[in-house]
């Protein structure tokens, strides 16, 4: 949610003119993968997740049910008893012509890609370490699968689709994070296959997150406490049934298969992170609804876990 901004605002401190030479501490903290790859690997591949991140006010509004869900992430061990070695997140707020990874040594900047919100929102910081080795591993996997050339962005930090949920999920900001862009000129099947190319990362202790929204039509939002309109509830219900029923082919084409697809998602940017997360879990993935709530009458916070059943 919030107006989309594909480039960080330098005035908000989100851009760097050059990439600083990392200190030894930054190299150890910000590698995100290479140092960890030599240690014991997890017994099983990590699950992937689609998160509906909703409004940026999630970070300050205690009345939002989804806020409490995200804050329970670590205590409830939703993604495991221990934090992941690194996080690869795909947000609905970074669109590029070709796949791009942010390659950050040191800490990620916090991008305020929203407008007209309370001042405290613009004072929040989420300085998670960058994950340059994970970025390069992601680039390697995508190019091997035919998604190249994959570009590198050495200045872009984390947009609110990434840092808003992560601030609640991993509040210490001590897990290295790499962000991967979307290509809204492509379709759901493309992003599903892109996710499949990233599947090996799950065996390397990387948590793959898609951050978007189950429904996302900002022009049709209403006041809290009003009934969810039919178009929103029917799309949200169809998506849940298709995911839980394993109808991946339908989900890949949900803009045309689902009822009210173009109304629920006038632009596919907040839907494609789901396809990436689902694809990364593979054809045999089992979906589980792990949170569901509504705000502003039409904004669904439906969030899902994808667990691999069959190896592909």
What does R_g of the chain's alpha carbons equal in angstroms? 18
Q: What is the overall mean pLDDT for the chain?
A: 87
- CA distances in angstroms from 229 to 183, 214, 259, 264, listed in the order given: 30, 14, 13, 11
Q: pLDDT-based confidence at 151, cuts 50/70/90?
A: very high
The helix/strand/coil state of 7 is: coil
pLDDT digits (tens, 9 = 90+) for 254-298: 988 999 989 999 999 999 999 999 999 988 899 999 999 999 989
pLDDT digits (tens, 9 = 90+) for 203-230: 999 999 999 999 988 777 788 888 999 9
Distance CA 47, CA 80 (A): 9
Distance CA 306, CA 295 (A): 24
Q: pLDDT-based confidence at 30, cuts 50/70/90?
A: very low
In the prediction, which pLDDT does 33 show?
56
* Greatest mean pLDDT among 4-8, 33-37, 239-243, 294-298: 239-243
Residue 75 has pLDDT above 60, yes or no: yes
Q: Print burial letters for 41-63: b (CB count within 10 Å at least 16), e (below 16).
A: eeeebbbbbbbbbbbbbbbeeee
Q: What is the percent of the chain with per-residue pLDDT over 70, rounded to a whole number?
A: 85
pLDDT digits (tens, 9 = 90+) for 87-136: 999 999 999 999 999 999 999 999 999 989 999 999 999 999 999 999 99
What does the block give as tokens for 174?
């001590």
Residue 9 has pLDDT above 60, yes or no: no
Residue 17 has pLDDT above 50, yes or no: no
In the prediction, which pLDDT does 15 show?
33
Residue 310 has pLDDT above 90, yes or no: no
In the prediction, which pLDDT does 184 show?
93
Selected residue with higher pLDDT from 272 and 23: 272
Domains and CATH numbers, the chain: 46-308 (3.40.830.10)
In the prediction, which pLDDT does 280 show?
98
- Are the CB atoms for 194 and 99 separated by under 8 Å? yes
10 Å CB burial of residue 106 (0-12, 13-18, 19+) is buried
Calculate ∠ Cα 211-214-215, nearest 5°: 120
Residue 65 has pLDDT above 60, yes or no: yes
In the prediction, which pLDDT does 305 show?
98
Q: Give me the DSSP letters along 53-85.
A: ---GGGGT-TT-HHHHHHHTTTTTTTT-SS--S
Q: Give me the DSSP letters along 117-174.
A: --GGGGG----PBB-HHHHHHHHHHHHHTT-PPPEEESS--B-HHHHHHHHHHSTT--
Overall average pLDDT of the 241-251 stretch:
96
Q: pLDDT-based confidence at 181, cuts 50/70/90?
A: very high
Distance CA 48, CA 118 (A): 32
In the prediction, which pLDDT does 170 show?
98
**Sequence-separated (6 or more) residues with CB below 8 Å from residue 145:** 193, 194, 196, 197
Overall average pLDDT of the 71-91 stretch:
96
In the prediction, which pLDDT does 216 show?
87
């Amino acid at each position: 949610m919030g107006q989309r901004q594909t480039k960080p605002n330098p005035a908000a401190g989100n851009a760097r003119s050059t990439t600083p030479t990392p200190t030894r501490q930054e190299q150890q903290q910000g590698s995100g993968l290479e140092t960890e790859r030599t240690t014991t690997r997890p017994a099983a591949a990590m699950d992937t997740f689609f998160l509906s991140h909703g409004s940026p006010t999630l970070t300050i509004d205690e009345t939002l049910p989804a806020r409490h869900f995200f804050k329970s992430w670590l205590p409830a061990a939703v993604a495991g008893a221990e934090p992941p070695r690194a996080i690869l997140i795909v947000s609905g707020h970074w669109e590029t012509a070709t796949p791009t990874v942010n390659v950050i040594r040191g800490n990620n900047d916090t991008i305020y890609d929203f407008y007209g919100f309370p001042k405290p929102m613009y004072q929040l910081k989420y300085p998670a370490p960058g994950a340059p080795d994970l970025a390069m591993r992601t680039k390697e996997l995508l190019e091997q699968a035919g998604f190249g050339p994959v570009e590198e962005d050495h200045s872009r930090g984390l947009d609110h689709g990434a840092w808003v949920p992560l601030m609640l999920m991993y509040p210490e900001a001590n897990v290295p994070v790499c962000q991967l862009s979307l290509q809204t000129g492509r379709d759901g099947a493309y992003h599903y296959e892109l996710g499949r190319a990233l599947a090996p990362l799950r065996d390397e202790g990387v948590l793959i997150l898609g951050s978007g929204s189950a429904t996302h039509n900002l022009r049709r939002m209403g006041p809290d406490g009003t009934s969810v309109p039919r178009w929103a509830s029917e799309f949200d219900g169809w998506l849940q049934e298709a995911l839980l029923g394993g109808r991946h082919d339908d989900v890949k084409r949900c803009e045309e298969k689902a009822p009210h697809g173009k109304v629920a998602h006038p632009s596919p940017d907040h839907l494609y992170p789901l396809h990436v997360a689902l694809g990364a879990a593979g054809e045999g993935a089992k979906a589980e609804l792990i949170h569901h709530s509504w705000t502003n009458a039409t904004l669904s916070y439906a969030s899902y876990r994808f667990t691999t059943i069959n190896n592909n």
